[in-house]
Amino acid sequence: MDVLGWLIFLVCLLASVMLHEAGHFFTAKRFGMKCPRFFVGFGPTLWSVQIGETEYGIKALPVGGFVEIEGMTSLDEVEEWDEPRSFRRAAGWKRIIVLSAGSVMHWLTAAVLIFGLALFIGVANDNVTQLGTVATCVPANEAALDNPNGTVCTSADAKSPAAVAGLKVNDTVTSFDGTPVSNWTELASAITKVKPGAPVSLTVVRDGKPLTLHTKLAEVPGHGSFFGIAPATVYQPQGVLGSIKYVGTGFNETVTGSFDALAQLPSAIPSLFSPDRASTSAGNLTSVVGAGRDVGEAVASPAGWQAKVSFILLLIASLNIFVGIFNMLPLLPMDGGHVAVVLWERTKARFFRLMGRPDPGPADYRKLIPLSFSIFLVLVAFGVMLMLADIINPVSIG
């Protein structure tokens, strides 16, 4: 199942990359720019077909893709008759749209995924009185209570009050000790009001029928009253308006988290290989290796299909939002860096026009190569370091 999860992740990653390139391709074509090639993958060509002036195809290494647009920079050689249709000769606003279209496609992809998740699968809601867990025994202490997955019940252990009452997973509690409850907050509050050893009655709905059950609360040393239940995670489909609102919430949380992660980079890097990485800001950083492993763990987990699909869709959506933002940072060789160059060209042209001088033309990318290459090396080095950290010192989603 881990392998299946990895395959799912890699397919989603490749699809995201190709949608990014498709954004550049279709906007460039719309503005009349010449696009000789549009390929999935890199390396030797496995298959291709010529449609019009564009060659579409698949290459041997499915690790990305590319679109070739004539005359992206002043360094590109373009045939004289193709120069009027080159990228560098287009109006500044057209070039900015083409450059930004890749990130826009990432954001549209994320919006569609989040919207579809909310509309068709639903949003997780664990503030319900439907039971997802019924403890078998009473934990020996507070540490065991905080780590229920590590608690192994034996015949010598006292049964939990929930087990004594005969509660079952998927029961819905409607009242506790005479107090009606409609959400988990009300139920938890009603439970905390009862002292250990005190008898209680509760009403549940099971298979559509009400049942009244009886038990006594237990006590966990260092904690207090213990009943032994946890809420189920119920997925509630949203309407169209609710789904749109959920998209806004998802974008807000991811954008805020993305900028927080970028701001914490200096302090996070030293903790990438520390034993307590998960509890530091480095625990919020991951590479494609970490993301792929997370999807693999999710697919292999015993969680229900809704939880698995929701996790994968939200992870892919979050990655698309983050990549879209990161790609638009004003740093070469990313698209945002090229946008910054276009804005500089147009600002310079306007200044020259005010001075009565001719447009100086496209920026000389030869002067920008050292800066672009330096940033590229830094990004590659950081990416390799992050992948090594995810291999050597991984953070598990649990």
pLDDT for residue 225: 82
Helix axes 92-116, 335-354, angle to 10 degrees: 150
Element at 202 (helix H, strand E): strand 199-206
Q: Give the span between the Cα atoms of 395 and 398, in whole angstroms.
A: 9
DSSP bridge pairs for 133 = 230
Element at 96 (helix H, strand E): helix 92-116
Q: Are 192 and 225 in contact (CB under 8 A)?
A: yes
Residues sharing a CB contact under 8 Å with residue 16, sequence separation 6 or more, in sequence order:
106, 109, 316, 319, 320, 323
Span 12-31, pLDDT tens digits: 999 999 999 999 999 999 99
pLDDT for residue 287: 92
Span 255-302, pLDDT tens digits: 998 888 888 888 888 899 998 888 888 888 899 999 999 999 889 887
- Nearest CA-CA partner of 134 in 214, 217, 230: 230
pLDDT for residue 266: 85
pLDDT for residue 59: 95
pLDDT for residue 317: 96
Element at 306 (helix H, strand E): helix 305-327
Would you give per-residue pLDDT tens digits along the chain (398 residues)?
578 889 999 999 999 999 999 999 999 999 999 999 999 999 999 999 999 999 999 999 998 899 999 999 888 999 999 999 999 999 999 999 999 999 999 999 999 999 999 999 999 887 789 998 898 888 877 666 666 554 567 777 889 999 999 999 999 999 999 999 999 999 988 988 888 888 999 999 999 999 999 999 998 887 778 898 988 888 999 999 999 999 999 999 999 988 888 888 888 888 999 988 888 888 888 999 999 999 998 898 877 899 899 999 999 999 999 999 999 999 999 999 999 999 999 999 999 999 999 888 888 888 899 999 999 999 999 999 999 999 999 987 65
All domains in the chain, ordered by first residue: 1-34+69-123+239-398 (no CATH), 131-232 (2.30.42.10)
pLDDT for residue 152: 67
**Long-range contacts made by residues 325-330, C-beta under 8 angstroms, separation at least 24?**
325/103, 325/255, 325/258, 325/259, 326/258, 326/262, 327/20, 327/102, 327/103, 327/106, 328/100, 328/103
pLDDT for residue 258: 87
Q: Are 122 and 236 in contact (CB under 8 A)?
A: yes
Q: Torsion-angle region of residue 356: left (phi > 0), alpha (psi -120 to 50) or beta?
A: left
Q: Which two tokens stand for residue 38?
A: 């549009």
Q: Which two tokens stand for residue 317?
A: 């959506």
* Token pair 């939002």 in the structure block, residue: 321
- 3-class DSSP state of 76: coil
Span 176-196, pLDDT tens digits: 999 999 999 999 889 888 888
Q: How many CB atoms lie within 10 A of CB 374?
A: 11
pLDDT for residue 156: 78
pLDDT for residue 180: 94
pLDDT for residue 17: 95
